[in-house]
Amino acid sequence: MCAHVVVAEDDAKQAELIRRYLEHEGHDVILVQDGRAALDQIRRRLPDLLVLDVMMPGLDGLDVCRTIRSEAALEGLPLLMLTARSTEDDLLLGLDLGADDYLTKPFSPRELMARIRSLLRRSARTRTGSGTVSGAAGGTPDGALLTAGPVTVDPARHEVWAHGTHIPCTPGEFRLLEVLAGRPGQVFTRSQILERLHGFDRYITTRTVDVHVMNLRKKIEEDPRRPKCLVTVYGVGYKLSDDKRPSRPGGVRHER
């Protein structure tokens, strides 16, 4: 699969290395050196993936990520963050802002390309609606709506509705809801969720799931402090309530 990739990296040698590996696999690559140039480029032509360094002059990668996830036209853009910061708090901050994956420097080009391939595959499945939801009982028919209580997930359109309102989601948040909505009421452990979202990746921690859940509750719960849709089962994991309330009534409203 040939993809259009924007790489925002102010280290010229690092950027050139990434470009060479991406082009070797047939991808079209645009290099930029700061956050404002990255936003200008992706607004001009939406890429299939943004590889984003955190530490850049002017507008840094975190600010770029915040901006992307706040704009409807850009919110679904797959985003891989690169950073020299290696603490778990830094990783969780990137995910909290909406990054789909987070790779610390120094990294091997082989690992970088594996992460990029994974993001592009998941993004392609999301756009085409060709995949089934992992863990859904008996599989889920292509394009079928997934409903769990007041939440409806539309895999083909990449849309989420809750309480009659359209909910903007990052790719990671959407995939988590897609997994849980595939089996309403079933409890998934954090490890099971991670396996379905990322496969067996030793760099992704179970706290990643907690960050996605926290962000989703702000979007889909009427009171995020007392969640009734995305529920914690203490000592086990998370589930989507299967309470049969209408999730997409007539006259729905869009909300950001």
pLDDT digits (tens, 9 = 90+) for 145-189: 999 989 999 988 888 999 889 888 877 788 889 999 999 999 999
What is residue 107's three-state secondary structure? coil
Class of domain 146-254: mainly alpha
What is residue 211's three-state secondary structure? helix
What is residue 146's three-state secondary structure? strand
Give tens-digit pLDDT for 222-250.
999 999 999 999 989 999 988 754 444 44
Strand order in the sheet with 230-233: 188-189, 237-240, 230-233
Q: Which of 69, 81, 240, 67 is nearest to 169 (CA)?
A: 69
The amino acid at 165: T
C-alpha–C-alpha distance, residues 167 and 182, integer Å: 18
The domain 4-128 is placed in CATH, from the list 3.20.20.70, 3.40.50.2300, 3.30.2290.10, 3.30.365.10, at: 3.40.50.2300
DSSP 155-192: TTTTEEEETTEEE---HHHHHHHHHHHTSTT--EEHHH
Rounded to the nearest integer, the mean pLDDT of the chain is: 82
What is residue 16's three-state secondary structure? helix
The pLDDT score that the predictor gives to residue 126 is 52
List, in sequence order, the alpha helices (H) in 97-154: 109-128
Q: Hey, where are the domains in the chain?
A: 4-128, 146-254
C-alpha–C-alpha distance, residues 219 and 236, integer Å: 23
Give tens-digit pLDDT for 74-127.
878 999 999 887 666 677 777 778 888 888 888 888 889 988 988 887 666 555
139 backbone dihedrals φ, ψ, rounded to 5°: 85, 165
C-alpha–C-alpha distance, residues 54 and 32, integer Å: 13
C-alpha–C-alpha distance, residues 196 and 179, integer Å: 7
- For the full predicted model, state whether its pTM sits above 0.75: no
